[in-house]
Amino acid sequence: MLHRALNLVFCCLFASVTFAADKPNVLLIVADDLGYNDVGFQGSKEIPTPNLDALAAQSVRCTNGYVSHPFCSPTRAGLLTGRYQHRFGHENNPMWLPEDTKQGLPFDQITLPQVLKQNGYTTGHVGKWHLGAHPHFHPLKRGFDENFTALGGGHVYFPGDKAGPEYLIPLDRNGVAEPQKSYLTDQFGDEASAFVQRHAQGQPWFLYFAFNAPHTPLQAPEKWLAKFASIQDPNRRTYAAMIASLDENVGKVLAQLDSTKQRENTLITFISDNGGPHLAVKGKGMTNFADNTPLRGAKGAVFEGGIRVPFLVSWPAKLKPGVYDQPVISLDFFATAIAQAGGQVPADRKIDGVNLIPFLSGENKAVPHDVLFWRSQGPKGHYAARMGNWKFVRGGAAAPELYNLADDIGESKNLAREKPEVLAKIEAMVAAWDKEMIAPVFAGPQQGKAKAKGPKSKAK
């Protein structure tokens, strides 16, 4: 009897270990306000990003990769739920109101870490949260086992700098306030690296590593500012230095994966949460310190420059490096990660993302999405849709626009009058999609226009 019992225990343990070993770790890296052409693998000659370029060389680079919104918090809400955030009214950035129970990711939404936990994963979040200030929105209540974050929409980068209240709140470690100790991008990089090392053995893990860089305030360490001394514009120089720091800290985490022999079976994705921004500078109007070349528009717009982003997917054990040209969207990460974890997406609600792995591996030759949709500023605001190479844009009461992205990635030639049948087809699809969405649940602050307030660019 004892022998049989021991054999049963051994078999159960072996089955459990094998089952866990088959599941990849999942690392989701998100930059904040990164310009489309501001990393080397996208073509930048001005800002070297050797670590991201090395990751790109081991990735499927999705050249038509999108996020579901042109600014911060809504993109993150869609990312963690796999759903167009308009389905649950998260269409604006929440204000920093710890007493408000509506301004944040609705509590009835099921998140990626919640599903992965049910499938045996340890879950962690490092970096920017921006999904609600009330305690019931806290990452530990949304599926994360471990948390080290700036809970608001941004934060000062150097301890002791001045800014508005939201940017000065203490960092949060597992629900306990903790003072900032160093340049914030470095501190987040160290924390993410420590998470990877800490969980190198045992059950698979999911890490949501969300930088707040290179989002304002524009602040960078002296070592990186010196490297970009040839850039004359001080905003552009500091922004470039911040990206270089981000790249260095991505490198820390990748090096930790390599040293602990986890890289082969880690599914890594890298995106920006939206396009690079314009900045309102007092007395100078709008300056574009980010480079979204060759795209039109910037953060806050539903033109390509606001929603099309650098987009990498790496999984050495299953995906060959290369280029994938079909349109994909950040909503896809939800279904992709859950499928590789052996789980099921929630069956009681519409999930808009799809499992990308069969498409990226070449197993599935179809397109992941027949059409993708965007809406900003509510039902009377700005709309966009992409069907194949056709891009539809409509701003408020303005006449609709239509572009062929295959020939006109910069959205410069409006073909609405020349292709009325295409325009009518997409308009009907947008109208049908819009009927499934709801109005924004909270108004949030004014979006898409950074104001020249708070700390200035600073060398340290």
pLDDT digits (tens, 9 = 90+) for 307-331: 999 999 999 999 999 999 999 999 9
Same domain, 331 and 210: yes
Do 339 and 405 lie in one domain? The reply is no
What is the C-alpha separation between 326 and 359, in angstroms, rounded? 9
Residues 426 and 339 in one domain: no
- How far is the C-alpha of 245 from the C-alpha of 295, rounded, in Å? 25
Could you give the CA distance from residue 245 to residue 182 in angstroms, rounded to a whole number?
A: 13
**Tokens 């965007």, residue?**
374
Give the residue among 71, 4, 30 at the shortest CA–CA distance from 276: 71
Q: How confident is the model at residue 281 (pLDDT cuts 50, 70, 90)?
A: low
Residues 44 and 65 in one domain: yes
Question: In this structure, is residue 1 part of a structural domain?
Answer: no
Average pLDDT over residues 47-61: 98
pLDDT at 227: 97
Residue 16 lies inside a defined structural domain of this protein: no
% of the chain with per-residue pLDDT over 70 = 90
**CB within 8 Å of 127: residues ≥ 6 apart:** 30, 148, 149, 150, 188, 192, 208, 209, 210, 211, 212
Q: Is residue 9 part of a domain?
A: no
Residue 197, in any domain of the structure: yes
Question: At residue 460, does pLDDT exceed 50?
Answer: no
Q: Which two tokens stand for residue 383?
A: 């709309």
So what's the pLDDT on residue 28? 98
Domains identified in the chain, total number: 2
DSSP 217-283: S-EE-HHHHHHTTT--SHHHHHHHHHHHHHHHHHHHHHHHHHHTT-GGGEEEEEEESSPPPPEEETT
Shared domain for 208 and 278, answered yes or no, is yes
What is the four-CA torsion angle of 436, 439, 445, 450, rounded to 10 degrees? 40
Which among 74, 127, 81, 61 has a CA at the least distance from the CA of 268? 61
How many C-beta atoms surround the C-beta of residue 101 within 10 A?
A: 13
* Contact call for residues 457 and 238 (beta carbons, < 8 A): yes
User: What Cα–Cα distance (Å) separates residue 318 from each residue in 22, 70, 258, 268, 358?
Assistant: 12, 31, 17, 12, 10
Cα distance between residue 377 and residue 370, in whole Å: 24
pLDDT of 94-109, one tens digit each? 999 999 999 999 999 9
CB contact at 8 A, 337 and 351 = no
Residue 93 is classified by DSSP as: P
Whether residue 196 sits in one domain with residue 294: yes
Q: Are residues 426 and 338 in the same domain?
A: no
How many Å apart are CA 315 and CA 360, to the nearest integer? 11
- pLDDT tens, position by position, 358-406: 999 999 999 999 999 999 999 999 999 999 999 999 998 899 999 999 9
Question: What pLDDT, on a 0 to 100 scale, did the predictor assign at position 21?
Answer: 55
DSSP 85: G
pLDDT band at 22 (very low <50, low <70, confident <90, very high): confident
| Residue 374 located in a structural domain | no
336 found inside a domain: yes
According to DSSP, the β-strands at 279-281 and 122-128 are unpaired
310 and 449 together in one domain = yes
Instruction: Give the model's pLDDT for residue 10.
Output: 28
Instruction: Look up tokens 């295409």; give the residue.
Output: 422
352 vs 363: CA distance, rounded Å: 21
- Decide: 25 and 262 in contact? Cβ < 8 Å: yes
Q: Does residue 6 belong to any structural domain of this protein?
A: no
- Provide the CATH number for the domain around residue 422: 3.30.1120.10
Answer yes or no: is pLDDT of 13 > 70.
no
List the CATH number of the domain containing 131.
Answer: 3.40.720.10
Q: Are residues 126 and 58 in the same domain?
A: yes
Both tokens of residue 182?
A: 């160093």
Do residues 447 and 300 touch, judged by C-beta distance below 8 A? yes
Q: What are the pLDDT digits (tens) for 169-206?
A: 999 999 999 999 999 999 999 999 999 999 999 899 99
Give the pLDDT score at 444. 78
Residues with catalytic annotation? Answer: 72, 130
Q: Which of 280, 191, 371, 262 is nearest to 21 (CA)?
A: 262
- Residue 387, in any domain of the structure: yes
Tell me the pLDDT band of 285, cut-offs 50, 70 and 90. low
127 and 265, same domain (yes or no): yes
Question: Average pLDDT over the chain, rounded to whole?
Answer: 91
CA 79 to chain centre: 7
pLDDT tens figures, 129-179: 999 999 999 999 999 999 999 999 999 999 999 889 999 999 999 999 999
Q: CB of 235 within 8 A of CB of 458?
A: no
Range of the domain at 42: 23-369+442-459
CA angle 201, 25, 357 (to 5 degrees): 155
* Predicted TM-score of the model (pTM): 0.91
For 418, counting Cβ atoms within 10 Å of its Cβ (0-12 exposed, 13-18 middle, 19+ buried), the class is exposed
My answer on whether 98 and 119 are in the same domain is yes
Asked if 400 and 264 sit in the same domain, the reply is: no
Rg, C-alpha atoms of the chain: 22
